[in-house]
């Protein structure tokens, strides 16, 4: 059991009670009662009396609403969140049920105690309002992007892989906590084998489905049921009605089909929330076939608003680029062909999980903040993420965060990034700083640009295996410039062009400088791109009680000491000036990681190992919160 002091310290980190005076938190801690739940345990039912509220100490709680088509997930409450407080404050019956999504520990707060706190501390009203707004934002995002039904439609020879692909995505959905999935096979081969006519009456359809749809394990490992046209139901079955009925019984429905030539299949696809076009990467006509099919389908039925192309690649190890032919936005999946193992390579599994998170509207973006030499902490955090199998669907970075993030996006491991940065830190004046006399900064940029080009080559951002964003500042207009396409080397050169230290980078008629000056922690970029969950690593300084002083490494050439001191002053000035920008980003972040680095400056290259270790320790402490009960991006296989 935890002591009252431990609970009071925990309350200081909660969403609702963080701003309570210490004495009030201590008093509240003494009033709370521990509640332990196993996965699936009901915390409370809808309609019951709301005389208590709860704070989640560990685990994950799902808030569910009963509808005509079954239970609907309203919200997910993780560590430090609260649930049941509205009914406890108003005395009205509870509007929804709460169920433990995993083994969880909560603390119960009596309603009378909670009401007294709200009377005595008006700031709680503001905190509660902010929490409700965030909950509504999460719910709106899920309703906008979460696909209850989606279709995988094959073009060309990819038809043979599409059902396997749909089944594997269904497996990933259930592994990520997305519930039961029904996969409907609408391919011609299945339709050609009709064994029994399907009655026109929808009631008979319902009875047929009750007989057929016994939950079974697809590939022996997922709560998915495969329904084949022509085998389980008639080849000319009304797909739209079939999908509607399946939605009563399953959390998700996936259609697998060839190009929808028949009306039943076309109308079934039109009922879906999302549409994935599946093509073989080696088929030069596949992209054009898809485009023609889109036009044809749109002329006949309503086309799902969310569409993406999935390219089946036959070469394991090939980067999972997002740019298809003619710049088509797409995602590549390694398909080695043949049976259950066709999507077994690790690259394929990662991409399948990413597709599943996209369908579930649970995509994670990792935001890596600016911080100069403190960027070693990013590398330590990456070590923790790799060890725990935490995956991200996008990387957004500024300055050193952009450089580290780009290397992650093109497939570098943390150990390789650490080796590169350690080599630079050991001899920065040789590897990074051009000591010739430039006209626009204290150091030239030739060496920096060449170093970036050496590691990134001629890659384009859209060729990154993981979607990547970085930012720079326009020196003339003061606008923030976001890079999501184009030359990766140019983008990194711009986001690392520290003013007065390196010369600005010219791009499309603009003079660009380090993104540190305009968006040091670019959570806004991740949100604007539509990612539902943002994990951010903030390297910015917090107030210190004394000056922070670090000298240039004694091994630096004597003539460089003056310039390195100027570099340190410039970077410290930018670091302090950027704190207001960081503060504006904080409300956009779901999980904030802040390594303890305040005793170091952003120009200190003498403590790489310590900063790595502290970044790793801070990320390790956040793993449970990032995973959110396995619902967000952890490795399933």
- Helices and strands of the chain, counted as H and E runs: 22, 23
Could you tell me if 342 and 336 are in contact, meaning their C-beta atoms sit under 8 angstroms apart?
A: yes
The CA distance from 240 to 238, in Å, is 6
- Does the pLDDT at position 240 exceed 90? no
Burial class, 243, CB count within 10 angstroms (exposed 0-12 / middle 13-18 / buried 19+) = buried
More confident residue, 215 or 572: 572
Could you tell me if 607 and 377 are in contact, meaning their C-beta atoms sit under 8 angstroms apart?
A: no
The CA distance from 529 to 462, in Å, is 14
pLDDT the model gives residue 30: 94
Q: Which tens digits make up the pLDDT trace of 249-283?
A: 788 899 988 876 677 788 788 778 788 888 877 77
pLDDT the model gives residue 589: 94
Q: What angle do CA 76, 78, 81 make, to 5 degrees?
A: 100
- Regarding pTM above 0.75, the answer is no
pLDDT the model gives residue 204: 45
Question: Taking residues 315-342, what's their average pLDDT?
Answer: 53
Q: Which tens digits make up the pLDDT trace of 562-586?
A: 556 666 776 777 777 777 888 889 9
Residues 6 or more apart whose Cβ sits within 8 Å of residue 426:
none
Could you tell me if 420 and 376 are in contact, meaning their C-beta atoms sit under 8 angstroms apart?
A: no
Which of 14-28, 68-82, 182-196 is predicted least confidently?
Answer: 182-196
Most confident of 159-163, 356-360, 398-402, 584-588: 398-402
pLDDT the model gives residue 539: 94
Confidence band (pLDDT; 50, 70, 90) for 454? Answer: low
pLDDT the model gives residue 194: 36
Confidence band (pLDDT; 50, 70, 90) for 323? Answer: very low
DSSP state of 92: P
Q: Which residues pair with 65 in a beta bridge?
A: 72
The CA distance from 618 to 620, in Å, is 5
More confident residue, 35 or 160: 35
Which of 203-217, 265-279, 371-385, 547-561 is predicted least confidently?
Answer: 203-217
More confident residue, 467 or 543: 467
Dihedrals φ, ψ of 301, to 5°? -140, 175
Q: Which tens digits make up the pLDDT trace of 438-452?
A: 444 444 455 556 667
Which of 21-30, 135-144, 235-244, 575-584 is predicted least confidently?
Answer: 135-144
DSSP state of 54: E
Question: Taking residues 491-496, what's their average pLDDT?
Answer: 92
Domains of the chain: 4-144 (2.60.120.10), 148-359 (3.40.50.300), 364-438+459-466+517-627 (no CATH)
pLDDT the model gives residue 367: 98
pLDDT the model gives residue 441: 42
pLDDT the model gives residue 564: 60
Question: Taking residues 85-101, what's their average pLDDT?
Answer: 90
- Does the pLDDT at position 474 exceed 70? yes
Question: Taking residues 192-211, what's their average pLDDT?
Answer: 41
Question: Taking residues 91-115, what's their average pLDDT?
Answer: 91
Most confident of 438-452, 466-480, 552-566: 466-480
Which of 61-75, 346-360, 585-599 is predicted least confidently?
Answer: 61-75
- Does the pLDDT at position 64 exceed 90? no
pLDDT the model gives residue 591: 95
- Does the pLDDT at position 471 exceed 90? yes
Confidence band (pLDDT; 50, 70, 90) for 395? Answer: very high
The CA distance from 1 to 34, in Å, is 8
Confidence band (pLDDT; 50, 70, 90) for 424? Answer: confident
354-357 contacts: CB < 8 A, separation 24 or more?
A: 354/391, 354/393, 355/169, 355/172, 355/276, 355/310, 355/331, 356/169, 356/172, 356/173, 356/175, 356/176, 356/178, 357/176, 357/393, 357/632, 357/633
pLDDT the model gives residue 202: 39
Which of 239-248, 355-364, 416-425 is predicted least confidently?
Answer: 239-248
More confident residue, 24 or 189: 24
The CA distance from 76 to 58, in Å, is 13
pLDDT the model gives residue 636: 38
pLDDT the model gives residue 573: 74
The CA distance from 369 to 447, in Å, is 23
pLDDT the model gives residue 264: 75
Q: Which residues pair with 401 in a beta bridge?
A: none
Q: Report the SS3 class of residue 86.
A: helix
Question: Taking residues 111-120, what's their average pLDDT?
Answer: 94
Most confident of 205-209, 308-312, 355-359, 403-407: 403-407
More confident residue, 373 or 144: 373
75-to-44, 97, 322, 344 alpha-carbon distances in Å? 15, 11, 31, 33
Question: Taking residues 461-483, what's their average pLDDT?
Answer: 91
152-to-149, 288, 620 alpha-carbon distances in Å? 10, 17, 37
pLDDT the model gives residue 230: 62
pLDDT the model gives residue 25: 94
- The per-residue pLDDT of the chain, averaged, comes to 78
Structure-block tokens of residue 6: 């431990």
- Does the pLDDT at position 376 exceed 50? yes
- Does the pLDDT at position 430 exceed 60? no
- Which of 406, 435, 434 has its CA nearest to residue 421? 406
Question: Taking residues 160-189, what's their average pLDDT?
Answer: 82
pLDDT the model gives residue 123: 85
Confidence band (pLDDT; 50, 70, 90) for 401? Answer: very high
- Does the pLDDT at position 231 exceed 90? no
């Amino acid at each position: 059991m935890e002591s009252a002091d431990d609970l009071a310290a925990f309350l200081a980190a909660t969403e609702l009670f963080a701003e309570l005076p210490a004495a009030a938190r201590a008093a509240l801690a003494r009033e709370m009662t521990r509640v332990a739940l196993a996965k699936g345990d009901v915390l409370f039912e809808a309609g019951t009396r709301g005389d208590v509220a709860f704070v989640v100490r560990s685990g994950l709680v799902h808030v569910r609403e009963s509808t005509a088509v079954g239970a609907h997930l309203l919200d997910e409450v993780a560590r430090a969140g609260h649930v049941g407080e509205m009914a406890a404050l108003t005395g009205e019956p509870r509007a929804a049920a709460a169920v433990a999504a995993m083994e969880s520990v909560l603390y119960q707060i009596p309603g009378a105690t909670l009401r007294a706190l709200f009377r005595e501390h008006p700031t709680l009203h503001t905190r509660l309002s902010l929490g409700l707004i965030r909950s509504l934002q999460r719910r709106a995002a899920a309703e906008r992007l979460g696909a209850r039904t989606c279709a995988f439609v094959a073009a060309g020879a990819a038809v043979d892989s599409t059902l396997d692909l749909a089944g594997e995505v269904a497996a990933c959905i259930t592994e990520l906590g997305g519930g039961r999935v029904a996969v409907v096979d609408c391919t011609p081969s299945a339709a050609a084998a009709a064994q029994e006519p399907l009655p026109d009456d929808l009631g008979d359809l319902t009875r047929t489905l009750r007989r057929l749809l016994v939950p079974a394990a697809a590939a022996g490992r997922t709560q998915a049921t495969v329904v084949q046209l022509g085998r389980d139901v008639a080849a000319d079955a009304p797909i739209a009605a079939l999908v509607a009925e399946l939605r009563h019984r399953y959390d998700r429905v996936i259609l697998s089909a060839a190009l929808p030539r028949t009306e039943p299949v076309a109308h079934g696809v039109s009922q879906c929330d999302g549409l994935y076009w599946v093509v073989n990467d080696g088929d030069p006509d596949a992209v054009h076939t898809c485009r023609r099919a889109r036009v044809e389908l749109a002329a006949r039925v309503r086309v799902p608003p969310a569409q993406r192309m999935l390219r089946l690649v036959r070469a394991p190890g090939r980067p999972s680029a997002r740019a298809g032919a003619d710049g088509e936005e797409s995602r590549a999946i390694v398909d080695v062909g043949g049976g259950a193992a066709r999507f077994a390579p690790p690259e394929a599994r990662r991409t399948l999980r990413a597709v599943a998170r996209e369908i579930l509207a649970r995509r994670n973006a990792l935001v890596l903040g600016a911080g100069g030499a403190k960027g070693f902490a990013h590398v330590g955090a990456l070590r923790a993420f790799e060890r725990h199998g935490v995956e991200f669907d996008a990387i957004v970075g500024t300055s050193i965060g952009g450089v580290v993030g780009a290397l992650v996006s093109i497939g570098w491991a943390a150990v390789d990034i650490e080796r590169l940065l350690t080599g630079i830190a050991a001899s920065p004046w040789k590897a990074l700083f051009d000591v010739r006399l430039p006209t626009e900064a204290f150091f030239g940029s030739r060496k920096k640009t060449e170093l970036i080009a050496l590691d990134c080559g001629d890659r384009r951002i859209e060729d990154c295996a993981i979607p990547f964003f970085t930012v720079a500042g326009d020196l003339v207009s003061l606008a923030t410039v976001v890079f999501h396409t184009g030359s990766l080397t140019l983008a990194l050169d711009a986001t690392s062009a520290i003013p007065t230290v390196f010369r600005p980078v010219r791009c499309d008629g603009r003079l660009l400088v380090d993104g540190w000056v305009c968006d040091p922690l670019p959570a806004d970029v991740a949100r604007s791109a539509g990612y539902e969950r943002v994990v951010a690593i903030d390297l910015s300084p917090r107030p210190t009680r004394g000056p922070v002083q670090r000298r240039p490494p004694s091994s630096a050439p004597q003539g460089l000491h003056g310039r390195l001191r100027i570099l340190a002053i410039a970077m410290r000035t930018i670091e302090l000036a950027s704190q207001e920008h960081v503060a504006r980003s904080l409300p956009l972040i779901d999980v904030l990681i802040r390594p303890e680095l305040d005793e170091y400056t952003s120009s200190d290259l003498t403590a790489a190992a310590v900063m790595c270790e502290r970044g790793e320790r801070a990320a390790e402490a956040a793993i449970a919160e990032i995973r959110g009960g396995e619902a967000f991006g952890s490795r399933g296989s």
